[in-house]
Structure 1
Amino acid sequence: MTQPLAERVKLLEERLGVVFPRAELALTALTHKSWVNEHRGEGFQDNERLEFLGDAVVNLAVGHRLMERFPQMREGELTPLRARIVNEEGLSRIARRLALGELLLLGRGEELSGGRDKNSLLANALEAIFAALYLEAGLAPVMGLVDRHFAEALDGVAQALSRLDYKTKLQETAQEQLKVTPRYQCISEAGPDHEKVFEVQVSLGPDVYARATGRSKKEAEQNAAHAALKWLARGEKPEPPDSPTDSGPKEDRPG
């Protein structure tokens, strides 16, 4: 490996806070196919195979951390959270913070078209880097990379969830203001199994404070809690809602 190429790997290691046992594999992670096309016969390989593996490695590592942070969440709740972090925009943002663009090996055409700042190239290169480290050193250093460079994204998801947890906020507010615990009733279900819509009402003491719908009971409960919080914030009590058309509540349980 020539000195300029070795210097790229050294800079990459410094920015990531890791050491690659084989610099050649790290360099491959930085190599776009346009460079290989212009340097045929020189022994270069592009990063597409590493990017393929890296997609799975990043999803595994981020999924691991999400399971640790949110032990009560089910698969259907964790999957969209991971998708909010592991996507082209999110990965390219991390790649820019690491200034990966200046380390990429690009062909002249790709260089002239602004390839060093393309979201797709940056995201693919970051995934390829994760794959290279995984192949060389296993999962432990990959988890370290996630902890160092995905911390902001993971914290952002946690903060967003805390803002959206209206049921917890309603329980705290209702107990403080009214000395009661919210109760939720699923009063109707409509639609086929794969597209059900649930209607839920929330009561505080003897009074129904809100009704709302959602694609799941949990979503409907969150929406009802959000609506009830608005009444409490105004210091008002809602008018009793019309009687539900359903024959009766399907569920009655404390929040």
Structure 2
Amino acid sequence: MHDLEATIGYTFSDRALLRLALTHRSAVPVGVKHGKAKEPPLTNERLEFLGDAILAYVTADCLYREYPQLSEGELTATRAALVQATTLARFARTLGLGEHLIMGRGEEMTGGRDRDPLLAAAFEALIGALSLDQGFAAAAQLVRQLTQPEARLIVEERRFKDEKSLLQERVQGELAQTPTYHVIATEGPAHQRTYTVEVRINGVAMGSGTGPNKQAAQRAAARVAMENGGWNANETDSSLSSDV
């Protein structure tokens, strides 16, 4: 884990905290109770809870200070985009968290190391662990380092609405069509399901995305469709117009 510490720029005083932040519940043997009273936690779920709260506060504070021109609604939408699972999973990949995750063999064999929900949870847990080990300032610095470039893109491109709304507006306005969403795969146990959704325009598949629920997967699919259609740059893809 030394390379991970080098990437984030901090050396943990308590290496057990870092290991815990990377431990998925699938690594705990069947029959072992999670969070038993007076016993230390076995998975990263409690650290995930702490990291989630830190992320919410730090991103809100940064947006408030750096973008005085944004309304409350725009601030809220920007923060939501920054802390959604797909965005956090990208941050986790930037840090290389996937290769360090501790998980059960079954989870690993089904692609757990690159699954957005697991990566997002591990990233939140890492932020929580860093705060406990190095202090809130260290955790906040890592959050700002990763989220500020993404926030600038969101603000510059005026991506305040969710991806589904943006895609529908562009498609209805330019192509007189309405996007439809279709679940094409469902994976994982009931308590940790992952959905894959495909978005189609007039029957033509324009992108797919995954998420811990159908709504998140639809947003991820809409984001891919926006990119494939060239709409993020406020341009209409001529080939799309002729094909659908």
| TM-score bracket, shorter-length normalisation | 0.5 to 0.7
Q: Distance in 2 between matches of 1:102 and 1:38?
A: 23
Question: 1: distance between equivalents of 2:52 and 2:160?
Answer: 29
| Alpha-carbon distance, 1:38 to partner | 6.1
Cα shift readout 1:170-215 (whole Å, capped 9, x = no counterpart) = xxxxxxxxxxxxxxxxxxxxxxxxxxxxxxxxxxxxxxxxxxxxxx
Q: CA deviation at 1:153?
A: 0.7
Residue 106 of structure 1: which of 79, 103, 107 is its match? 103
Change (3 A) 1:53 1:12: same
Q: Residue 142 of structure 1 aligns to a residue in which SS? A: helix
Partner of 2:17: 25
Matches within 5 A, 1:14-53: 14-37=6-29, 45-53=42-50
Q: Which has the larger radius of gyration?
A: 1
Tell me the equivalent position of 1:84. 81
Q: Which one of 149, 156, 167 corresponds to residue 152 of structure 1?
A: 149
Q: CA, structure 1 residues 32+74, in 2 after alignment: closer, same or farther (shift >3 Å)? A: same
What TM-score, normalized by structure 1, do the two folds share? 0.56
| Structure 1 partner of 2:5 | 13
Query: Amino acid of the residue matched to residue 21 of structure 1?
Result: S
Q: Which residues of structure 2 form unaligned runs of 5+? A: 34-39, 162-244
CA deviations on 1:24-44 (whole Å, 9 max, x unpaired) are 111100000111226969x87
Deviation string, structure 1 residues 117-171 (Cα, Å, up to 9, x no partner) = 100000000000001111223221122102322232122123123999xxxxxxx
Shift in Å, 1:80: 0.9
Alpha-carbon distance change, 44 to 76 in structure 1, aligned in 2, over 3 angstroms: closer
How far apart in 2 are the matches of 1:162 and 1:126? Answer: 23
AA matched with 2:23: T
Q: Give yes or no for contact 1:32–1:105 (8 Å, CA) kept in 2.
A: yes
Partner SS, residue 31 of structure 1: coil
CA RMSD of aligned residues (A): 2.5
2:137 matched residue in structure 1: 140
Rounded to whole Å, the distance in 2 between the matches of 1:56 and 1:68 is 19
Residue pair 1:88, 1:120 contacting (<8 A) in 2 also: yes
Once the two structures are superposed, what CA deviation does each residue of 1:82-136 show, in whole Å capped at 9, x if it has no partner? 0011100000011112111000001111011110010000000000000111122
Q: 2:3, 2:81 → 1: CA distance?
A: 29
2:4 and 2:96 in contact (8 A); partners too: no
2:68 to 71, 86, 90: 71
Identify which range, 139-148 or 153-162, moves more after superposition: 153-162
Judged with a 3 Å threshold, the aligned counterparts in structure 2 of structure 1 residues 66 and 109 are, in CA distance, closer, same or farther, namely same
**2-structure distance, mates of 1:102, 1:58:** 23
Identical counterparts, % of pairs? 41
| TM-score, normalisation: structure 2 | 0.58
Answer yes or no: is the 8 Å Cα contact 2:58–2:143 preserved in 1. yes
Q: How many aligned positions are there?
A: 155
State the 1:45 CA deviation.
Answer: 1.4
Which residue identity lines up with residue 140 of structure 2 in the other structure? M
Unaligned runs of 5+ in 1: 1-7, 165-255
What is aligned with 2:119? 122
